[in-house]
Structures are given as structure tokens and as C-alpha cells.
Amino acid sequence: MDDYSHGAVNHSVSQYVNDMAHTNGIESFWAMLKRSYYGTFHHILAKYLHRYVNEFAARHNLRPKDTEVIMAETVGRMTGKRLTYAELVSN
């Protein structure tokens, strides 16, 4: 597991970057999620919000990869798996 150092910025004193600490990544993530909400989904039930956040976290983390690589990895993870309709609607 990677070691991460935690940094902080103090927006109340107009500090937006402190060495490598900044909020650009999380602001980018929430902007992408909000654009999808308004542009594609239009309505998200609170009951399923965690699923949308998980989907967009994956999209955000996969941005640097080529589509072909993403598809190959996805298919690789699907091999030998089965999801029934009953399992899908029960979650």
C-alpha cells in the first residue's frame, strides 16, 4: 500500500495551494459528477447515490487510460462472473 502524506489548505485566508496540497482533484471529480447529473441522468435517488459516486470514481481514475485498455481490463474482470436479474434488483 502506498503511503500518503496529508496536507491542508486554508481557503478562509485565500490559500488555495500549499506545496502539493490542493483541492483541484476533488473539485474536478464533483464537477464531472454534477455535469452527468444535469446532462444525462437528470434525477438520482439518494438510495442509489453511492452507485453513481462509485461509477464516477472509476471513470475519474481511468481517465489516463486508452479505451482499448479499459475495455480489455473490464472484460478480464468479467470472465467467470455471472449477475442475475434477481441480484441486480435486490441491491
Task: Express each pLDDT in 22-58 by its tens digit.
Answer: 888 888 888 888 888 888 888 888 998 899 899 888 8
Q: How confident is the model at residue 1 (pLDDT cuts 50, 70, 90)?
A: low
What distance in Å separates the CA atoms of residue 76 and residue 69, rounded to the nearest whole number? 10
Average pLDDT (62-83) is 89
